[in-house]
């Protein structure tokens, strides 16, 4: 198969990517004065790059002849051929120097490009709620996030033109504005919940199962890692998923219960008093202990209004669970 000497092959030669046969033919070709034109074209194809490797020369953005002059000055004395004119040639040694200079410039350009891309990224705003505090956040697309106590949310001040990505730790209820061509994605560790327009709740606390519940619409939940991605579930209204230690559990849920965080309600379904106490500690920033361990394992099913004081909730729990409690040094003791 014949090898055609053209601009692309010259560029390939300068990048050090030629086969042995291609390299031999190009070396022979470059001894011909006619090679000057193709060499110029190969360099011109990259003239738009910011050749920062030359920034210490007299020109920061070299024109074509400047680039060639600077490169030849770095290579050293030129060889003359043919009567009637001087022609610059590339020996194997000079070709290696060319390749090094080209690759160095490409590396600097790549680093510069990536740095610029990084600089173009929108800085994330972070909202952190301590225990005992909840907040309502309105995002730039008019989506609303009801962020729970002991939770945090990172989000861009303004979403990009293609995506809407936010990052959650803890619990939040979302009312997402519909934008069909701009998915809304909630990142919680290795799990992503993607929607187009819906309302749903996520709980993603450390050492707790991840929970996603849908009040309206549809969401897709995926597990994403650096080496793989898999779909965990597609949820519609009244469905929820529990993801714990790579185990997936699909269940149904009353859509009204999914609104609890937004409406400041707490719904417990066959929950132990210990689990209920954990939620109350986060919502009210209090410490609750049990005098008897057996009491903490008792289970209850009820819904309480969490817009009032902790005492009102404890009175309801005490009546339903048949226990007493007292407050000592700021600590609630259930006995």
Q: What is the pLDDT of residues 272-284, one digit of tens each?
A: 999 999 999 999 9
pLDDT, residue 43, reads: 61
Q: What is the 3-state secondary structure (H, E, C) of the chain?
A: CCCCCCHHHHHHHHCCCCCHHHHHHHHHHHCCCCHHHHHHHHHHCCCCCCCHHHCCCCCCCCCHHHHHHHHHHHHCCCCCCCCCCCCCCCCHHHHHHHHHHHHHHHHHHHHHHHHHHHHHCCCEEEEECCCCCCEEEECCCCCEEEECCCCEEEEECCCCCCCEEEEEEEEEEEECCCCCCCCEEEEECCEEEEECCCEEEEEECCCCCEEEEEEECEEEEEEECCCCEEEEEEEECCEEEEEECCEEEEEECCHHHHCHHHHCEEEEEEEEHHHHHHHHHHHHCCEEEECCHHHHCCEEEEEEECCCCHHHHHHHHHHHHCCCEEEECCEEEEC
Q: What is the pLDDT of residues 115-125, one digit of tens each?
A: 344 444 568 99
| Ranges in the chain, pLDDT < 50 | 47-120
Q: What is the pLDDT of residues 316-328, one digit of tens each?
A: 999 999 999 999 8
pLDDT, residue 181, reads: 87
């Amino acid at each position: 198969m014949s090898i055609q000497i053209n601009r692309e092959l010259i560029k390939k030669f300068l990048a050090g990517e030629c086969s042995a046969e291609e390299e031999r033919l190009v070396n022979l070709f470059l001894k011909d004065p006619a090679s000057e034109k193709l060499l110029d074209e190969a360099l011109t194809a990259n003239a738009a790059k910011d050749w920062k490797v030359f920034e210490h020369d007299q020109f920061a953005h070299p024109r074509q002849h400047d680039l060639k002059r600077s490169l030849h000055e770095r290579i050293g004395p030129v060889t003359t051929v043919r009567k009637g004119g001087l022609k610059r040639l590339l020996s194997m040694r000079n070709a290696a120097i060319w390749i090094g200079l080209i690759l160095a410039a490409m590396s600097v350009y790549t680093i510069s490009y990536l740095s610029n891309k990084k600089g173009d990224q929108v800085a994330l705003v972070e909202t952190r709620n301590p225990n005992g505090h909840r907040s309502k956040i309105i995002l730039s697309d008019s989506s609303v996030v009801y962020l729970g106590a002991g939770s945090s949310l990172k989000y861009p001040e303004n979403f990009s033109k293609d995506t809407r990505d936010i990052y959650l730790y803890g619990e939040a209820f979302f009312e997402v504005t519909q934008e069909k061509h701009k998915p809304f994605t909630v990142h919680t560790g290795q799990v992503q919940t993607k929607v187009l327009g819906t309302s749903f709740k996520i709980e993603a606390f450390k050492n707790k199962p991840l929970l996603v519940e849908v009040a309206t619409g549809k969401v897709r939940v995926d597990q994403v890692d650096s080496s793989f991605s898999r779909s965990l579930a597609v949820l519609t209204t009244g469905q929820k998923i529990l993801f714990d230690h790579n185990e997936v559990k699909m269940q149904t849920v009353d859509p009204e219960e999914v609104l609890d965080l937004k409406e400041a309600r707490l719904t417990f379904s066959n929950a132990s008093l210990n689990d209920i106490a954990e939620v109350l500690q986060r919502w009210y920033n209090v410490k609750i202990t049990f005098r008897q361990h057996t009491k903490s394992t008792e289970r209850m099913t009820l819904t309480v209004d969490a817009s009032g004081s902790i005492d009102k909730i404890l009175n309801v729990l005490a009546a339903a669970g048949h226990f007493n409690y007292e407050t000592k040094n700021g600590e609630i003791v259930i006995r």
